[in-house]
Amino acid sequence: MDGGALLFCALLLLVHCGREATAITIFSNSSSNFLVGRNISLIISYNVKTDAFISWYKDEVLIVAWQNYTATPLENYKGRLDIIGNGSLVITNITQSDSGNYKVSVEALGETRGSLTFPVKVY
């Protein structure tokens, strides 16, 4: 490797390692208890500098991914699941089988991923 290429690689390494990632913090005041036939609304709030990529999981299984205002839900949630606002989750016409631990994960370029878990009980 010639001197110019070596210097370029060293500068790239410095730029990459010198950038400190900002941690993403997610906030919510959503309820954990819901009634059969109603809607689950898990409202989140976060602050990122670039477009966010949102993933929602139920009991560790990905149920929907959301980026650029486009949601891709798991097949058995199609027609019942919606992503609103900045990535908040709404599931309509819930049943007891919708009970479980829901986790949201927020990722953005140059920032450390943030996540938050919602224990949901349907009565």
The Cα 104–Cα 98 span in angstroms is 16
- φ/ψ of 82, rounded to 5, equals -140, 150
The Cα 46–Cα 52 span in angstroms is 10
Q: Domain residues of the chain, as ranges?
A: 21-122
Domain 21-122 coded CATH 3.40.1190.20: no
Q: pLDDT tens digit string along 62-87?
A: 999 999 889 999 998 989 999 998 89
Give CA angle at 2 (4, 10), nearest 5°.
50
The tokens of 27 are what?
Answer: 């906030």
Of the two residues 25 and 109, the one the predictor is more confident about is 109
Q: Is the confidence at residue 28, as pLDDT, over 90? A: no
Q: pLDDT tens digit string along 86-106?
A: 899 999 999 999 999 999 999
The Cα 74–Cα 61 span in angstroms is 9
